[in-house]
Amino acid sequence: MSHCSGYSDPSSFAEDGPEVLDEEGTQEDLEYKLKGFIDLTLDKSAKTRQAALESIKNALASKMLYEFILERRMTLTDSIERCLKKGKSDEQRAAAALASVLCIQLGPGIESEEVLKTLGPILKKIICDGTASIQARQTCAACFGVCCFIATDDITELYSTLECLESIFTKSYLKEKDTNVICSTPNTVLHISCLLAWTLLLTICPINEVKKKLEMHFHKLPSLLSSDDVNMRIAAGESLALMFELARGMESDFFYEDMESLTQMLRALATDGNKHRAKVDKRKQRSVFRDILRAVEERDFPTETVKFGPERMYIDCWVKKHTYDTFKEVLGSGMQYHLQSNEFLRNVFELGPPVMLDAATLKTMKISRFERHLYNSAAFKARTKARSKCRDKRADVGEFF
């Protein structure tokens, strides 16, 4: 199969995406091509296997193929398992990413439970393996969190997953002998991934377990706000905001002992002017921490609106925001399509059954590549013109003085 011209370059599908097939081909063409990619996951070449995994992942992220996947679920799971066990870093990452999308396609049920039962122990082993690639461990941690969120039906397995993730990210906690700043290490990206996956799973825990976890981490997690890595500071801040939301949901008069010192730290990050930090990092951090500070101090959340097709969804709490961000990270540009068509995601976000649209309506909604290119070009020209005017004004003011 690897010598067949039709499948010799799996990356071509990853570049073009299913959009090309939608416009120029049929469902049968897509399925035929995917069958070829599934066969290529057994190829001798690691690069070919990786490209095939990525192509299947891209297709599943962009189109609902439940029936097709259901028939080949065991074959796909075996391929992912083999690539996770025997592959190197990039191949393991591609396999873990595909596992996440596979579970999103299948939704909760016996099929996804079987996928998790097969892949869960391998993912856990890679996450905890200090000799494995950091990037592979990071992707496996994110995958483990998503798959458990969807498929786990065993409460003890959920608790075991939480403990596995905790054992990793708590290594970043400030130790008594440390200074006031936590210095980032190559493992920081792994710790961030584990923290975000742990936070996602916390949202589906029973109340008693949530209380236990809050008691364990409420007074240690703020130490991560002093990390010199901006992404770690943001991940810790957003996790804290979500934890406050959960705590107040259980007890409306919830009292946090170190509120004053925490709000001081959050306010400092929301107004950070540290010259040693990059401008982009400071801008990103200040924006996020303004929202986090409002959540902790005033119990307020700035509602966001997500539009997809003729529908819209309001993200009005930290739990929903974190869940949306997690699935957006996995599905990328396919998130809007899945919000429209994927029953599992629609249930998660309480959107009701999928809205049925006729072909004429769908055609009017779809923008061609050429139209999108024209729109982006016009927007770019407008921005450039506005910037030029702004620069001219600044120059005039400078000459005046």
Is residue 34 located within the same domain as residue 116?
Answer: yes
The answer to whether residue 64 scores a pLDDT higher than 60 is yes
DSSP 132: S
Identity (one letter) of the amino acid at 175? Answer: K
For residue range 215-267, what is the model confidence (pLDDT) as tens digits?
Answer: 999 999 999 999 989 999 999 999 999 999 999 999 989 999 989 999 999 99
Is residue 263 located within the same domain as residue 126?
Answer: no
Q: Give the chain's mean pLDDT.
A: 86
Read off the pLDDT band of 24 (50, 70, 90).
very low
Is residue 35 located within the same domain as residue 105?
Answer: yes
| 21 inside domain | no
pLDDT value at residue 28: 85
Return d(Cα 205, Cα 254) in angstroms, integer.
19
| 102 inside domain | yes
pLDDT value at residue 260: 93
For residue range 100-112, what is the model confidence (pLDDT) as tens digits?
Answer: 999 999 999 999 9
Decide: helix, strand or coil at residue 6.
coil
Residue in this structure with the two tokens 């309506």, named with its chain if needed: 361
pTM of the model: 0.83
Residue pair 231/195 in contact by the 8 Å Cβ criterion:
no
Residue in this structure with the two tokens 């005017």, named with its chain if needed: 389
| 279 inside domain | yes
Q: Please, which contacts does 301-308 make with residues 24 or more away whose CB atoms are closer than 8 Å? A: 301/245, 306/336, 306/339, 308/335, 308/336, 308/337, 308/339, 308/340
Q: What is the DSSP string of 44-107?
A: S-HHHHHHHHHHHHHHHHHS--HHHHHHTHHHHHHHHHHHHHH--HHHHHHHHHHHHHHHHHH-
Residues contacting residue 308 through CB under 8 Å, at least 6 positions apart = 335, 336, 337, 339, 340
For residue range 351-389, what is the model confidence (pLDDT) as tens digits?
Answer: 999 887 655 554 554 555 555 556 566 666 666 666 666
pLDDT value at residue 370: 56
Read off the pLDDT band of 288 (50, 70, 90).
very high
pLDDT value at residue 211: 96
Across residues 122-142, what is the average pLDDT? 97
Domain boundary among 272, 300, 328: 300
pLDDT value at residue 389: 62
Comparing 360 with 270, the larger pLDDT belongs to: 270
The answer to whether residue 32 scores a pLDDT higher than 50 is yes
Domain boundary among 282, 300, 318: 300
For residue range 155-211, what is the model confidence (pLDDT) as tens digits?
Answer: 999 999 999 999 999 999 977 655 667 788 889 999 999 999 999 999 999 999 999
Residue in this structure with the two tokens 């919000």, named with its chain if needed: 339
Point out the least confidently predicted range of 31-40, 243-252, 271-280, 344-353.
271-280
pLDDT value at residue 309: 87
Is residue 72 located within the same domain as residue 221?
Answer: no
| 41 inside domain | yes
Domain boundary among 245, 265, 300: 300
Number of structural domains (the chain) is 2
Residues contacting residue 44 through CB under 8 Å, at least 6 positions apart = 2
Is residue 68 located within the same domain as residue 197?
Answer: yes
Write out the residue range of the structural domain in which residue 244 sits.
207-300
User: In degrees to the nearest 10, what's the CA dihedral of 267, 273, 277, 280?
Assistant: 90
Residue pair 144/161 in contact by the 8 Å Cβ criterion:
yes
The answer to whether residue 3 scores a pLDDT higher than 60 is no
CATH number of the domain enclosing 88: 1.25.10.10
pLDDT value at residue 400: 43
Is residue 42 located within the same domain as residue 91?
Answer: yes
